[in-house]
Amino acid sequence: MLSTMNKTLHLDLGDRSYPIHIGAGLLGQSSLYTPHIRGRQVMIVSNETVAPLYLEQVRSALSAYQVETVILPDGEEYKTLDILNRIFTALLEKRFNRSCCLVALGGGVVGDMTGFAAASYQRGVDFIQIPTTLLAQVDSSVGGKTGVNHPLGKNMIGAFHQPRCVLADIETLNTLDDRQLAAGIAEVIKYGLIEDAEFFGWLEQNVDRLLARDPEMLIYAIEKSCQCKADIVAADERESGKRALLNLGHTFGHAIETGMGYGNWLHGEGVAAGMAMAADLSARHKWMPASDVERIRALLTRTRLPVDPPPELSRQQFLDLMAVDKKALDGGLRLILMDAIGKARVSDDYDVSLLHATLDSRLSLTGS
């Protein structure tokens, strides 16, 4: 019975702590929602892809409340202030008050936008995360980062706003396409790389079972990922130190996503190529052994993820896009690099000429 494998983790942030429920058959359980809804008004935010699949299940679990819905277009290219405004319009038209609760039913885009709407509406209301992609379940739904994109940079407009709870139901992954599943596994691999070499080894042994959607393997991978993120966020909620390690691969990856046009490369695909590039740069500094770089590239390739950037981007475009990234600090670019699998570091003392060498070599391999 799958329900016997269900897990609950807790992210400890004092009076803003919250549970992360992981398992099968969670969406329809009213008892998982009610402790976290203070008023009578609930606004479910979803998108055109997810709503036909799961909206009624969630709505029926919330039948004791006044439930309204807003359905957004599906895709990273719609993660904008303009589309965000549709959530505010719906809340105002239905006269939602400060005790209302928003429910994010969808992937990372829906979660980020709903969270930002919750952070902003009447200066802050509650929200619940129901992530329906693997990437959202292991990463974006946990930790309170919310926001939208700008044409010049990804996630540059947003707020820290923690959810009241997270419901990660693995049954929603049954309707996820293979490309999106692989993109989510990229973030799972990231946790092994930043601080858990043993988990990375487990992934090398079991990634084929994850790709085959083995429920037991998925629950374990989601639990390990969420526990790692919860521990890091509890220690450094607003990214003044250790939380920056969670950005491994993201500075390169965000440059790819922005440069190629939002939605053309999935977030996890950009992160995968970014982690491979970070490994290459780490090895050029003689920090990481070449054998670790090969293990990383091999696992990403087995997961059907890219390990090199798109040839359409030049070195200068990369550098310009990376300079806009949130992780740039006082005019300098801060990167997350590695000493070994399972040991990442925040680096602003890397050799820029070696960064150029990484960009040039990886881009030349893909045709630039």
Query: Is-catalytic flag, 285?
Result: no
CA gap 116, 121 in Å, rounded: 9
Reply yes or no on whether 68 is catalytic: no
Task: Please tell me which residue in 59, 164, 254, 334 is annotated as part of the active site.
Answer: 254
Is residue 150 part of the annotated active site? The answer reads no
Which one of the listed residues 195, 239, 257, 269 is annotated catalytic? 239
Residue 209: half-sphere exposure toward Cβ, Cα within 13 Å: 13
| Rounded Cα gap, residues 84 and 108, in angstroms | 14
Helix or strand or coil: residue 41? strand
The catalytically annotated residue of 224, 229, 297, 326 is 229
Strands 101-106 and 41-47: parallel
Residues whose CB falls within 8 Å of the CB of residue 364, separated by 6 or more in sequence, listed in order: none
Decide if 295 is catalytic: no
Q: Which of 161, 190, 250, 362 is catalytic?
A: 250
Alpha carbon dihedral 145, 148, 154, 156, in 10-degree steps, equals -70
Whether 229 is catalytic:
yes
Q: Is 95 a catalytic residue?
A: no
> Which two tokens mark 346?
């925040």
Among 145, 161, 164, 362, the one annotated catalytic: 145
**Active-site hit among 79, 190, 224, 243:** 243
CA 57 – CA 71 distance, rounded (Å): 15
Evaluate whether 115 touches 161 at the Cβ level (below 8 Å). Answer: yes
Tell me which long-range contacts 36-39 makes (C-beta under 8 A, separation of at least 24): 36/101, 36/126, 36/128, 36/164, 36/165, 37/62, 37/65, 37/101, 37/126, 37/128, 37/164, 38/99, 38/101, 38/126, 39/97, 39/99, 39/100, 39/101
- The 3-state DSSP composition of the chain as helix, strand, coil percent (nearest 5) reads 55, 20, 25
Active site residues: 123, 145, 187, 229, 239, 243, 247, 250, 254, 267
